[in-house]
Structure 1
């Protein structure tokens, strides 16, 4: 028994006439009659009583019609679901977020906008270090990730779409002699103890900070490491030293610290969406297409420079 046999049967049952059913199906009447006979032979019972001006269902035909309609309905639902997933309009997408990037307002804006465009796609967020996100994308457990650049872990295996550029800020204890200044030159930290997060959490961000210090003419004196990028603020408040953090980390409202722009805008970092170069998921392609669209650029315009950089 094939699906077309069910479709033929349902058409004849609803039209109660072979000729009208054939016209509805777009086939000739004799082949239709032959297929129905084959179906009845396969089932071992008549489904129709042939009348002078049409047909009527037998008792077996009435029951078979109910089941046939149910099967055809399930097939249609399965087809629609498959096509929806193939178009990236439903299904699931897992998006990773570097721990230091989740505080940027554009990240929440990106997710909200994508959900508005594709409400039937389930988003599974995964927060982690950059290396763990890379591992997740390599294994296929993560479809795309919001990371900070530079992102040198994967060579040509990944594509990057920049979402925003963000200034780095100096964080000082509130009682620090420089706490009253709006801007501070990076070289002013030469004799300070710099609180950093483990390089393994975000090699690109870590190296950018160290490289900026060296460009300013000094190698920083590194103190005790913080467990995460945001927790460096709490360690500064506790008196362990000073730090340099992305501007959006200011949303961590720690008492006893002050934030300051770096004089001359010496250090900026970018946030980007990383995705596999050979990606097959249409949901991911839709996400990438969305952030490359003029509509998204307009929508996100107010967020692209990140949070205000002075306090």
Structure 2
């Protein structure tokens, strides 16, 4: 009997173009992967892949089988997603994800606390995840809501994304830095500075926005000797590794001893996005509405 695992293995090999690459992505031994595909072909009764020394290609039968396998796996994923959503709806739980660059400070936690105090049967689970991972988890039914930094580079069919609020970016520099005493600085003055955060090649978010602004100012940010994906970013600035452009909210919650300087450009701002499933549970919809209401109020900067 054909197993779901074998279907997944077959699709992974086709996408990777080789057994070795697919085995690495799947974190299994290449010999085990080859054995499963051989069993799959024996069950189907035809050769699905034409093997060469460097790569694999689908046979005519393999191409027809691949299309059906992809559709079947997608259908199974949708079934699991709906089941997980239904379970959370019955239990009255909401899974909220947030980027590490969107700190859950008083402005966001206070309205959530008020909302939950009026609904004793609802619980909230909070975790961190990258902007793109949030959308994928919501698409797959593992989460309900996400708070992310724009831009998000990949849109998913079952995930709606809206701007929740926007805020100014500020320059974080170590004590004693020549720019530390300035009231504000233009972005072009940061040419040649070492930045402790650079963008991930396949993710959007805060660092991607920073690069956009630097490019508008005529340069690409240079990497410091030590860089961070946010968690220790301000600590690296404090210790003199380099500088960073950070949201005002993130800077306000920082414990590191850094100097914050305003940017001269009025468009040096960043947006916080709300991810929500196209068909949310009632509990998730209510939490999303509480966040929208809180963020509709004027924000202090």
Aligned equivalents of 1:239, 1:93: Cα separation in 2: 40
CA contact (8 A) 2:139 2:158 kept: no
What's the counterpart of residue 70 of structure 1?
none
Cα separation, partners in 2 of 1:205 and 1:301, compared to 1, 3 Å? same
Preserved CA contact (<8 Å) 2:130 2:148: no
TM-score, with length taken from structure 1: 0.61
Give the aligned partner of residue 43 of structure 2: none
Judged with a 3 Å threshold, the aligned counterparts in structure 2 of structure 1 residues 226 and 201 are, in CA distance, closer, same or farther, namely: farther
Does residue 301 (structure 1) correspond to residue 293 (structure 2)? The answer is no
Q: What corresponds to 1:288 in structure 2? A: 288
Residue 140 in structure 1 maps to residue 136 in structure 2: no
The question of whether the paired residues in 2 share the 8 Å contact of 1:89 and 1:121 is answered with no
Aligned to 1:215: 216
Helix, strand or coil: the match of 2:262?
Answer: strand
Q: What SS is found at the alignment partner of 1:168? A: strand
SS in 2 for 1:199: coil
User: Relative to structure 1, is the Cα distance of residues 270 and 172 closer, same or farther in structure 2, using a 3 angstrom cutoff?
Assistant: same
Structure 2 equivalent of residue 252 of structure 1: 254
Distance 2:106 2:210 in 1: 22
Which moves more between the two structures, 123-132 or 150-159?
150-159
**Structure having the higher Rg:** 1
Paired with 2:221 and 2:213, the residues of 1 have a C-alpha distance of: 10
Asked whether the 8 Å contact 1:197–1:225 carries over to 2, the reply is no
Specify the alignment match of 2:127 in structure 1. 126
Alpha-carbon spacing, 1:92–1:136, altered in 2? closer, same or farther (3 Å): same
Q: How does 1:44-59 map to 2 (within 5 A)?
A: none
Q: What CA distance in whole angstroms lies between the structure 2 residues aligned with 1:234 and 1:98? A: 18
- Matching of residues 125-274 of structure 1 within 5 Å: 125-196=126-197, 199=200, 203-250=204-251, 251-255=253-257, 257-274=258-275
**What's the offset of the Cα at 1:195?**
1.4
- State the number of aligned residues: 214
| Structure 2: 5+ residue stretches without partners | 1-85
Shift of 1:130: 2.1
1:300, CA displacement in angstroms? 5.6
Deviation, 1:204, is 2.7
Residues in 2 aligned to 1:135 and 1:111: alpha-carbon distance in whole angstroms:
24
- Partners of 2:169 and 2:240 lie apart in 1 by 20
SS of 1:233's equivalent? helix
The structural deviation recorded for 1:259 is 0.5
* CA distance in 2 between partners of 1:104 and 1:168 (Å): 17
Deviation at 1:103, TM superposition (A): 4.5
Tell me how far apart the structure 2 counterparts of residues 163 and 236 of structure 1 sit (CA, whole Å): 28
Cα distance change of structure 1 residues 230 and 263 upon mapping to structure 2, 3 Å threshold: farther
CA distance in 2, matches of 1:121, 1:236: 40
User: What SS does structure 2 have at the residue aligned with 1:131?
Assistant: helix
**Offset of residue 92 of structure 1:** 0.8
Q: Which residue does 1:98 correspond to in 2?
A: 99
Q: How does 1:25-104 map to 2 (within 5 A)?
A: 91-104=92-105
- SS of aligned partner of 2:205: helix
